Structures are given as structure tokens and as C-alpha cells.
């Protein structure tokens, strides 16, 4: 089939959760279909585009630049149109013009919108069956985030937007021929947005074990590690909660333990905290994360808001990392407490779980081995993505 894959972020290199998910779907689709990728790009991504052209039938891009100063204009437009801020912000005339040109030249069988932001573009592809690939139930993610915020303008904005997102997401799910969800929990949330049950294809986020070699950790590995894009609000909330509520308990027993916080664009407040406390190592983006994995006695995902599946957990398990997360953090992933990971939701319990991994090397190694085996049997993309073909055949009749 001729597939048009629409992505909000260029899915290569796979150096963040959303990009990992899309990258593995893209690889699978390119092996089985004539795949045209259309994506927004940021800055000079010519090398990445060149690599993607070796895999896809064609690659087309539209530059996008986001500025905080422009957000007020998008917010005003959102208020006037009663549409979600995120959809208004990413509605760009250049993308619509590119798609009009491509659709005049090619009749696509499937318009595959990767994330809700791109559904507005899939809608304009004539004659193609429309697929929404939902990385998460976006309305629920924003509701959970709003619930973690104290009273103030930010809480008001998120509270307004999750309600608009719920309405918008529900409409897209009713109107598109096929929906891909990453978990049963997300399927339920999407059905709530629709106000009805419907058939969806549940495919977990997949990874490629060939790209995720087992990490040989240092014998004295004793750092705590968090990896994630640090401009993403759920990650900011998670790290701040860990620093404020959990790390002081850990430092009572292990006062010199270092917390490595690795990820793109950390907030200035977090950078300043790292400058004031040498035990907080705020790195920003790094090209090679392996040295941080090698020093880590515990990998943590202390998520308190969010939706979908945490790719950082899949990556860490694939690389044999001992991991502590919350119940919400591992939502949608078939892990078992004490077998594949340690799960804790209160500051005291989370601190105790981290201390167990830092002091019990045998337990840490055991969790790492079992976690990698779980990824091999359940989450490798070559098997996990196969139901996409069944969905395509179904929606094309």
C-alpha cells in the first residue's frame, strides 16, 4: 500500500520517547509498504533527512519554529476558536500547502497521523483511510498534569485545555477509520472521550533490541539516573518531586549519592539547583548516554502525571538496567513488582526501593536480566507492529 506517515517531530535519531516509538513503526512500515514520510523539522536536520531517505520511498519536511513569545497569540486564537491550544499552535499553512501538492500527485491508501497534533493534516488527504496513532490519550495526560499543579495561571490553562482536548480527541476517534492505542488504559480513556466504545488496535510501544545493547554497569555503580526530555512537564514534575521528597531520605543513609539528570533543555531553576548542590548533576542533552548508564546503581522513573507508555522504561529494561518507578510510570507495561522492576508511590517507599538497588547488587542484576527478557519476548518491534498490517487491510476493505 501507499502509506503517508505524518509526524510532528522528525523520528530520527531515536533519542526521545516519542521518536523511539515512531522510529520503530516507520522501520516496520517501510519494510512492508511504499512509505512517504512528511514531518516538521527544527533547524538543520539535513543529515537525519538523508538517513531517512535511505529507508522511506520519499521524505518531505516543513520547518517549524516555536517561540514562547508566539504562544500568547496561539492561546488567544485558541480562546477565540474554542480549539485546543496544542492543535492551534501546530496548525501551519506551509504543511497544508505541501500536503495539497503531494495529494495532487499521488493517491495514498492510508494517511497515518502520528500523534493527535497531526490528525488535522490527515483529515485533508482525499481518498485515504485515516489512522490516528495515539501515543497516549492526550486529554488524560493533560488532566493528570493539571491535577498536580497548585492554584495559578498554569493550572487554569491546563485545566481548560484538557477539556478541549477531550472533545477534540473524541471527535477524531469517532471520525477516523482506525485507531492505534498503546495500552488498554489508553483505549479506555479514548473511548471515554468519544462517549462510546469502539474497536481499536492496541499495540504497545515497541523497541529494537539490536539498537539497545546490554549495558555492562561498573562494579561500583552507585549513582541514581533519570533520562528524559527535561522541557516535558511530566518529567519536570517527576524530577522535582524526587529531589524534594525522595532524595533527602536517600541522603540520610547515603549522603554522597549523586543524582544524574540527563535530558534536553532542563529548566533554568533545575540547572541552578545543580549548580548549588554537587550531588545534583544536571547535564542537559548528551550524545552518548552509556557512561551514565554504566555508573547508575538505580534508574528511576518517578512519574506522577502522564499517559501512554514510558519509552524510557522500555529502553532501560532492554539494556538491563535495575529500575524503580511509580504505578503510573509503568502503566501499560507488563512488568511485575519485585520481578522486573520495583514499584513505589510514596516518598518513603520510593527511597527504600532505590536504596535496595544501591546496596543489593544481586537484586539489581536479577531485575536487569528479567527486564531484558521481557522486552525480547513482548516489545520487540518486529513482532509488536504486525497488527498494523491487519488494521490497514481492514480499513481499506
Q: Are residues 238 and 143 in the same domain?
A: no
The reported pTM is: 0.78
Q: Which domain holds residue 276?
A: 210-378
pLDDT tens string 146-193: 888 888 888 888 899 999 999 999 999 999 999 999 989 899 999 999
Q: Are residues 156 and 303 in the same domain?
A: no
CATH at residue 252: 3.40.50.2000
Using alpha carbons only, give the angle 176, 305, 334 rounded to the nearest 5 degrees.
Answer: 75
Report how many domains make up the chain. 2
The stretch 4-31 carries a mean pLDDT of 94
Determine the length of the chain. 397
Beta strand pairing call for 58-63 and 110-114: unpaired
In this predicted structure, which of 53-57, 87-91, 147-151, 319-323 has the lowest mean pLDDT? 147-151
Residues paired with 39 in a beta bridge: 7, 61
Q: Are residues 185 and 311 in the same domain?
A: no
Q: Are 238 and 263 in contact (CB under 8 A)?
A: no
Q: Are residues 368 and 246 in the same domain?
A: yes
Q: What's the pLDDT score for residue 231? A: 87
- In angstroms, the Cα distances linking 17 to 180, 207, 223 are 17, 10, 22
φ, ψ of residue 58 to 5 degrees: the values are -155, 150
User: Which residues 6+ apart lie within 8 Å of 297 measured at CB?
Assistant: 217, 221, 222, 223, 224, 322, 357, 358, 364
How far, in Å, CA of 270 to CA of 272, rounded? 5
Amino acid at each position: 500500500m501507499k502509506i503517508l506517515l505524518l509526524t510532528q517531530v522528525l523520528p530520527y535519531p531515536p533519542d526521545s520517547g516519542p521518536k523511539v516509538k515512531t522510529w520503530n513503526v516507520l522501520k516496520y512500515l517501510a519494510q512492508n509498504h511504499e512509505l512517504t514520510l512528511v514531518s516538521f523539522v527544527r533547524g538543520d536536520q539535513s543529515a537525519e533527512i538523508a538517513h531517512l531517505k535511505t529507508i522511506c520511498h520519499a521524505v518531505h519536511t516543513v520547518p517549524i519554529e516555536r517561540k514562547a513569545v508566539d504562544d500568547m497569540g496561539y492561546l488567544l486564537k485558541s480562546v477565540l476558536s474554542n480549539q485546543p491550544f496544542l492543535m492551534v499552535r501546530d496548525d501551519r499553512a506551509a504543511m497544508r500547502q505541501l500536503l495539497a501538492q503531494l495529494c495532487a500527485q499521488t493517491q495514498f491508501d492510508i494517511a497515518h497521523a502520528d500523534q493527535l497534533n497531526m490528525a488535522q493534516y490527515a483529515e485533508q488527504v482525499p481518498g485515504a483511510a485515516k489512522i490516528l496513532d495515539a501515543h497516549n490519550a492526550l486529554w488524560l495526560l493533560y488532566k493528570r498534569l493539571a491535577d498536580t499543579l497548585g492554584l495559578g495561571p498554569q493550572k487554569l490553562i491546563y485545566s481548560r485545555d484538557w477539556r478541549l482536548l477531550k472533545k477534540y480527541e473524541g471527535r477524531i476517534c469517532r471520525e477516523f477509520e482506525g485507531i492505534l492505542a498503546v495500552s488498554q488504559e489508553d483505549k479506555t480513556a479514548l473511548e471515554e472521550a468519544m462517549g462510546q466504545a469502539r474497536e481499536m488496535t492496541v499495540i504497545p510501544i515497541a523497541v529494537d533490541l539490536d539498537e539497545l545493547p546490554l549495558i555492562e554497569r561498573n562494579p561500583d555503580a552507585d549513582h541514581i539516573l533519570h533520562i528524559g526530555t527535561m522541557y516535558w512537564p511530566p518529567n519536570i514534575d517527576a524530577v522535582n518531586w524526587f529531589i524534594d521528597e525522595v532524595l533527602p531520605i536517600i541522603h540520610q543513609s547515603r549522603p554522597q549519592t549523586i543524582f544524574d539528570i540527563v535530558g534536553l533543555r532542563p529548566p533554568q531553576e533545575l540547572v541552578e539547583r545543580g549548580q548549588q548542590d554537587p550531588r545534583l548533576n544536571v547535564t542537559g542533552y548528551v550524545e552518548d548516554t552509556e557512561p551514565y548508564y554504566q555508573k547508575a546503581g538505580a534508574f528511576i522513573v518517578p512519574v506522577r502525571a502522564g499517559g501512554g507508555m514510558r519509552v524510557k522504561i522500555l529502553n532501560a529494561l532492554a539494556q538491563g538496567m535495575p529500575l524503580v518507578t511509580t504505578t503510573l510510570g509503568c502503566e501499560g507495561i507488563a512488568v511485575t513488582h519485585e520481578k522486573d522492576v520495583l514499584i513505589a508511590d510514596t516518598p518513603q517507599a520510593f527511597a527504600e526501593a532505590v536504596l535496595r538497588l544501591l546496596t543489593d547488587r544481586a537484586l539489581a542484576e536479577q531485575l536487569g536480566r528479567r527486564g531484558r527478557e521481557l522486552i525480547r519476548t513482548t516489545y520487540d518491534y518486529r513482532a509488536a507492529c504486525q497488527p498494523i498490517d491487519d488494521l490497514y487491510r481492514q480499513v481499506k476493505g
